[in-house]
């Protein structure tokens, strides 16, 4: 039984100012290209089953280009006759039921099984004379609701193979949180041996959680936290109770985040020299990169030759300079991860408040904080 497990494709995502010749955001196109590579692989390798573990789209209301692209690619998959199960993730799940779910556009595509009704669903398939049951728990509005659905989860004893798919942060291991306000928590005890495979989505780094449980990771780079990762999807082969797993790497536009330049004992011209060396080593053409300056004082930072850096980086898709500034006269950095802390603090503050539309306020507030962060980083 050959299965492909993909997740967090975030179609419709866009970032930075760079546009293509047709005026479309370059990073949006890159995200489509990554998913298209996956579909090309499906057509070439002809697996028995495909599982998408959520966040197919980047948002609740993707733009028309993203919708058209997704439909065209899902039709390409549909034409192979291979079942494609896709569950809703937190990014595409509406906050209000009235909004309606974008996944309803897939309801009538043959061999495509969208799961987005905020409840546990089982999908039985007969493949190569074997019964394979996919147990899917998609994104829910409330954590309590999700926990209720998790309680119902039960392997099908009549099936030859049981696959569980869900989207959320596995508990106990802080690292698997994306720090998103509507993310759901999957308790470690769910990672049961009773399933032949557990396909998870949400955490963007491809990760093995147990011998039978994996995050496939995202198909693209979305933040500089992703920079050290490889991006792709999982290829599984299950036969006679044995699971073989392989990570299939995609060809993505490089995102480079070299080690910070320690500036504490350096003069302005020495720092500029190091920056120039680093940029040259990166070979910025068509790449996305970030230069981090640690322990730099505000007056030295203001003295940097930004025009020179811009000239050297001109062929990049995007670059940013992250300065962890030490205020003149202080020894401790004062700016490092200030924005993260602010979002976190805001979330905690709201949790303690007795408000009706907490989630909406949280979403708006975090949106503003992210905007300011992007503006500051773009300096």
Q: Which residues are catalytic?
A: 91
Please give the structure tokens belonging to residue 147.
């926990």
Please give the structure tokens belonging to residue 223.
């933040």
Told to check if 89 binds Mn ion by CB under 5 A, we report yes
184 or 271: CB nearest Mn ion: 184
Told to check if 220 binds Mn ion by CB under 5 A, we report no
CB of 355 to Mn ion, least distance (A): 25
Told to check if 90 binds Mn ion by CB under 5 A, we report yes
Binding segment (CB under 5 A) for Mn ion, from list 39-47, 89-97, 189-197, 368-376: 89-97
Apex CA 233: angle with CA 44 and CA 23, to 5°? Answer: 85
Alpha helix stretches (DSSP H) within the chain: 26-45, 64-78, 143-152, 268-282, 298-303, 306-312, 338-351, 358-377
With tokens 């291991």, the residue in question is: 173
How many residues bind Mn ion (CB under 5 A)? The answer is: 4
Residues 6+ apart with CB under 8 A from 324: 260, 292, 293, 294, 295, 296, 333, 335, 336
Helix or strand holding residue 288 (H, E): strand 288-297
Binding segment (CB under 5 A) for Mn ion, from list 83-91, 144-152, 269-277, 330-338: 83-91
DSSP designation for 145 = H
DSSP bridge pairs for 170: 186
CB of 55 to Mn ion, least distance (A): 4
303 exposure class (CB count in 10 Å sphere: 0-12, 13-18, 19+): middle
CB of 203 to Mn ion, least distance (A): 8
Q: Give yes or no for a contact between 249 and 262, defined as CB atoms under 8 angstroms apart.
A: no
**Binding-site member from 55, 92, 149, 196 for Mn ion (CB under 5 A):** 55
Q: Give yes or no for a contact between 298 and 325, defined as CB atoms under 8 angstroms apart.
A: yes
Binding segment (CB under 5 A) for Mn ion, from list 69-77, 116-124, 197-205, 332-340: 197-205
53 or 159: CB nearest Mn ion: 53
Helix axes 26-45, 64-78, angle to 10 degrees: 10
10 or 318: CB nearest Mn ion: 10
62 or 89: CB nearest Mn ion: 89
Binding segment (CB under 5 A) for Mn ion, from list 51-59, 154-162, 214-222, 325-333: 51-59
58 or 257: CB nearest Mn ion: 58
55 or 149: CB nearest Mn ion: 55
Q: How far apart are CA 25 and CA 239, in angstroms?
A: 43
Interface pattern 198-217 for Mn ion (x via CB under 5 A): ----x---------------
55 or 196: CB nearest Mn ion: 55
Rg of the chain over Cα atoms, rounded to whole angstroms, equals: 23
CB of 88 to Mn ion, least distance (A): 10
Interface pattern 4-43 for Mn ion (x via CB under 5 A): ----------------------------------------
Residue nearest Mn ion, CB atom distance: 202
Binding segment (CB under 5 A) for Mn ion, from list 90-98, 141-149, 260-268, 320-328: 90-98
Q: Give yes or no for a contact between 116 and 140, defined as CB atoms under 8 angstroms apart.
A: no
Using DSSP, state whether 133 is helix, strand or coil: strand
Please give the structure tokens belonging to residue 87.
């569950």
CB of 19 to Mn ion, least distance (A): 26
Please give the structure tokens belonging to residue 329.
């006269």
Give contact residues for Mn ion (rule: CB under 5 A): 55, 89-90, 202
């Amino acid at each position: 039984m050959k299965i492909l497990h993909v997740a967090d494709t975030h179609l419709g995502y866009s970032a930075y100012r760079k546009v293509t010749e047709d005026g479309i955001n370059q990073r949006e196109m890159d995200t489509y290209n990554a998913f298209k590579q996956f579909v090309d692989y499906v057509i070439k390798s002809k697996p028995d089953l495909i599982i998408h573990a959520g966040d197919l789209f980047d948002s609740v209301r993707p733009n028309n280009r993203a919708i058209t692209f997704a439909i065209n690619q899902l039709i390409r998959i549909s034409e192979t006759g291979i079942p494609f199960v896709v569950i809703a993730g937190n990014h595409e799940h509406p906050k209000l039921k009235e909004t309606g779910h974008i996944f309803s556009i897939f309801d009538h595509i043959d061999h495509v099984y969208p799961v987005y009704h905020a409840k546990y669903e089982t999908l039985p398939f007969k493949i190569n004379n074997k019964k394979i049951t996919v147990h899917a728990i998609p994104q829910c509005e409330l954590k309590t609701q999700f926990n209720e659905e998790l309680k119902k989860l039960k392997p099908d004893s009549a099936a030859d193979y049981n696959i569980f798919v869900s989207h959320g942060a596995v508990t106990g291991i802080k690292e698997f949180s994306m720090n998103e306000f509507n993310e759901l928590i999957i308790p470690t005890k769910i990672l049961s041996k009773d399933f032949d495979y557990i396909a998870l989505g949400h955490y963007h780094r491809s990760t093995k959680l147990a011998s039978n449980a994996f995050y496939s990771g995202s198909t693209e780079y979305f933040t500089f936290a992703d920079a050290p990762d490889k991006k792709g999807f999982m290829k599984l082969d299950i036969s006679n109770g044995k699971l073989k797993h392989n990570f299939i790497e995609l060809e993505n536009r490089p995102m480079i985040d070299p080690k910070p330049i320690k500036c504490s004992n350096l003069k302005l011209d020495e720092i500029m020299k190091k920056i120039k060396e680093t940029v040259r080593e990166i070979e910025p053409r068509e790449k996305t990169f970030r230069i981090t300056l640690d322990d730099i004082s505000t007056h030295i930072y203001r003295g940097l030759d930004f025009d020179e850096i811009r000239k050297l980086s001109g062929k990049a898709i995007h670059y940013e300079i992250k300065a962890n500034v030490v205020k003149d006269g202080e020894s401790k950095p004062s700016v490092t991860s200030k924005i993260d802390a602010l979002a976190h603090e805001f979330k905690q503050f709201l949790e303690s408040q007795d408000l009706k539309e907490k989630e909406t306020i949280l979403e708006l507030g975090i949106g503003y904080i992210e905007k300011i962060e992007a503006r500051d980083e773009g300096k």
